Amino acid sequence: MRPVGSKYLLEEPLGRGATGTVWRARQRETAGAEAAVAGQPGETVAIKVLKEELANDADVVMRFLRERSVLLRLTHPNIVRTRDLVVEGDLLALVMDLIDGPDLHRYLRANGPLTPVAAALLTAQIADALAASHADGVVHRDLKPANVLLDERDGGMTPMLTDFGIARLADSPGLTRTHEFVGTPAYVAPESAEGRPQTSAVDIYGAGILLYELVTGRPPFAGGTALEVLHRHLSEEPRRPSTVPAPLWTVIERCLSKDPDRRPSAENLARGLRTVASGIGVHANSAQIAAAEGVGALLAPDPAPTAVPETPGAADPTQVLPSNAGSYDPGAATNVLPQTGPGGQGQGPGGGHADPTAVMPPVPQRPDGPPQPDGPHPWQSQLQAARDRNEQTQVQYLDPSQDPLRRRPQRQQPPQQHQQQQQQPQRRQPPPQHQQYQQQHQPQRYQQPQQPQRQQYAPPQPQQPQQPAARPPREPRPPRQRSANPMRIPGLGCLKGCLFTVVLLIVAGWLIWELTPLQDWVAQGKGYWEAIGDAIGTVTDWVSKVGNSAEGSDGA
């Protein structure tokens, strides 16, 4: 087990995304006043340890500290609560409530699409979460099924939105220096794809894509490459699948409007979706049906949408050619694309716009900018203060083979629960609001993906005073797998090449034999140079004849 700060111990990785790895962790001792939730020793939590690349970026660290209070105060029944933010050495981590249940992406893959009513009610709860965060000045910007966790407490399933603020950290100007764009092409709003200014309406677009995916099983805009997907967001109108009722389609269409000003506010979206859900259910009365049919009138846009500080890392498909464009996976984690967007150069933190969520005055200069005459940069003192809070952390020597950070992620499966499932397969409880509709429309069973046994980690090695501070050496990365075919036949590549060349030579020889006068020359027994000379003579004669006849006709 590995300590994070002085208060937490990482136990087991739950999953890995583009911005970091999420761990099941245990509280060692009650957190201090700087945490939103103090917690009790022994309590389990989830901790997202941000990638080294992010943690080593001064801009990201700065934002992490600046947004601390915003993230910690963001509480809502449909938002995964951030309990604490830890800065320790080169490590940045978010401590969250541990959610017991799959994410929506995994759920959809295992169970297929939801009924229109269930999809509308689930998205309404997500819209509630968005309305609360937008009111607080926070735009999510990476809304997708993988960022919605399904909390299975009390026999129901409550959607919980997670990863708030992570997109904001990831598109730090510092990272843009590395020419990367962080986002998920299948869920990117047209204005983000074009590098135009963004508002909270990008989350409504994301909610529209998510809703479409919930009822159809796949997002509306797919493609072989990330670039193709971004282009389709910009230029294509989604088509209504026959299984989507008209009132629900009205909502989806408005959310997916290319013009952000036509998209409804999160609050109106939630209201509209609940109206639709009551009007399309089998028990709907005529008033409910009429209200659902008139849902368009409820979808008024937000008169004052929350602005997103200008994003230097927004993708511009007209200018960006992702190097991984050929291997786009719509279900993958947030993609990181090479980026040379218009705003990518010469902008300070937050670009030219005021940061509505900032709790500190804006930083005058970037830490890597020209040296400042007076004193250390503000982020340095903040960082030092944050590190000082974690001074008591004991550094324990950890055998690299037992370091869970170097193991592959695995989701925990309590053995007795696993056994129970094997003995009597249980019907999964849909969210209480959806229950009646799910059963009427589409009985669905959630199959827990088969899990390997929980990894047991041996207790840490006894402390070795002579090497406590030294980090275990990084294990060499395994060589990249080039092909999915695990069988390798020595020399097969060379053999294939040779065979291809032989076939090519045979075809070329046959074409020359058939299409040139070579056969005649061979039949006449002429030598090669003699035949070439004859051919040139014939052509010269023909050209001079043509020239003479042209002159004759001019003279006549």
Q: State which residue, 289 or 333, has the beta carbon closest to ligand ATP.
A: 333
Q: How far apart are CA 335 and CA 274, in angstroms?
A: 32
Which segment (16-24, 119-127, 217-225, 427-435) binds ligand ATP by CB under 6 A? Answer: 16-24
Q: How far is the CB of 452 from ligand ATP (least distance, A)?
A: 16
The answer to whether residue 17 forms part of the interface with ligand ATP (CB under 6 A) is yes
Q: Catalytic residue, from 59, 103, 142, 302: name it.
A: 142
What is the contact mask toward ligand ATP in residues 31 to 60, using x (rule: CB under 6 A)? ---------------x--------------
When binding is defined by CB under 6 A, the residue of 71, 98, 269, 398 that contacts ligand ATP is 98
Q: State which residue, 14 or 120, has the beta carbon closest to ligand ATP.
A: 14
Q: How far apart are CA 116 and CA 284, in angstroms?
A: 14
Q: How far apart are CA 254 and CA 263, in angstroms?
A: 5
When binding is defined by CB under 6 A, the residue of 58, 61, 79, 99 that contacts ligand ATP is 99
3-state helix, strand, coil in the chain (%, to 5): 45, 10, 45
When binding is defined by CB under 6 A, the residue of 6, 9, 15, 152 that contacts ligand ATP is 15
Q: State which residue, 57 or 97, has the beta carbon closest to ligand ATP.
A: 97
Which segment (94-102, 128-136, 489-497, 510-518) binds ligand ATP by CB under 6 A? Answer: 94-102
Binding residues for ligand ATP, total number by CB under 6 A: 22
Q: State which residue, 329 or 399, has the beta carbon closest to ligand ATP.
A: 329
Residue 93: Cβ-neighbour burial (10 angstroms; 0-12, 13-18, 19+):
buried
Which segment (10-18, 206-214, 440-448, 496-504) binds ligand ATP by CB under 6 A? Answer: 10-18
Which 271-330 positions form the footprint of ligand ATP (CB under 6 A)? none
Q: State which residue, 14 or 273, has the beta carbon closest to ligand ATP.
A: 14
Which segment (70-78, 91-99, 197-205, 301-309) binds ligand ATP by CB under 6 A? Answer: 91-99
When binding is defined by CB under 6 A, the residue of 71, 96, 118, 292 that contacts ligand ATP is 96
Contact 140, 167 (CB under 8 A): yes
Q: State which residue, 49 or 124, has the beta carbon closest to ligand ATP.
A: 49
When binding is defined by CB under 6 A, the residue of 1, 4, 10, 22 that contacts ligand ATP is 22
Contact 11, 1 (CB under 8 A): yes
Q: How far apart are CA 278 and CA 299, in angstroms?
A: 16
What is the contact mask toward ligand ATP in residues 127 to 156, using x (rule: CB under 6 A)? ---------------x---xx-x-------
Q: Which tokens sit at 163?
A: 């990863």
Residue 145: Cβ-neighbour burial (10 angstroms; 0-12, 13-18, 19+):
buried
Q: How far apart are CA 147 and CA 18, in angstroms?
A: 12
Q: How far is the CB of 240 from ligand ATP (least distance, A)?
A: 29
Quick check: is 154 catalytic? no
Q: State which residue, 396 or 410, has the beta carbon closest to ligand ATP.
A: 410
Q: State which residue, 291 or 315, has the beta carbon closest to ligand ATP.
A: 315
- Name the DSSP class of 40: -
Q: State which residue, 449 or 509, has the beta carbon closest to ligand ATP.
A: 449
Q: Which tokens sit at 384?
A: 């030092």
How many other C-beta atoms can be found within 10 angstroms of the C-beta atom of residue 356? 16
Q: How far is the CB of 188 from ligand ATP (least distance, A)?
A: 13
Q: How far is the CB of 56 from ligand ATP (least distance, A)?
A: 17
Contact 363, 348 (CB under 8 A): yes
Q: Which of 229, 433, 400 is nearest to 331 (CA)?
A: 229
The gap from C-alpha 517 to its chain's centroid, in whole angstroms, comes to 62
Which 331-370 positions form the footprint of ligand ATP (CB under 6 A)? 333-334
Q: How far is the CB of 162 from ligand ATP (least distance, A)?
A: 5
H or E segment at 82? strand 82-88
Contact 280, 245 (CB under 8 A): yes
Q: How far is the CB of 349 from ligand ATP (least distance, A)?
A: 21
Return the SS3 of 360. Answer: coil
CA-to-CA separations, 32 to 43, 249, 538, in angstroms, rounded: 15, 49, 99
Q: How far is the CB of 17 from ligand ATP (least distance, A)?
A: 2
Residue nearest to ligand ATP (CB): 17
When binding is defined by CB under 6 A, the residue of 80, 122, 189, 255 that contacts ligand ATP is 80
H or E segment at 158? strand 158-161
Residue 165 Ramachandran class (φ > 0 left, ψ -120 to 50 alpha, else beta)? left
CA-to-CA separations, 554 to 541, 543, 547, 548, 551, in angstroms, rounded: 20, 17, 11, 10, 5
Q: Which tokens sit at 380?
A: 């340095």
Which 147-206 positions form the footprint of ligand ATP (CB under 6 A)? 147, 149, 162-163
Q: How far apart are CA 468 and CA 528, in angstroms?
A: 82
Q: How far is the CB of 161 from ligand ATP (least distance, A)?
A: 11
Q: How far is the CB of 93 from ligand ATP (least distance, A)?
A: 12
Q: How far apart are CA 15 and CA 4, in angstroms?
A: 17
Q: State which residue, 36 or 299, has the beta carbon closest to ligand ATP.
A: 36
What is the contact mask toward ligand ATP in residues 419 to 458, using x (rule: CB under 6 A)? ----------------------------------------
Can you spell out the DSSP letters for 166-209? Answer: HHHHHT-HHHHTTTEEEE-GGG--HHHHHT---BTHHHHHHHHH
Applying CB under 6 A, the residues found at the interface with ligand ATP are 14-15, 17-20, 22, 46, 80, 96-99, 103, 142, 146-147, 149, 162-163, 333-334
Catalytic residues, by residue number, are 142
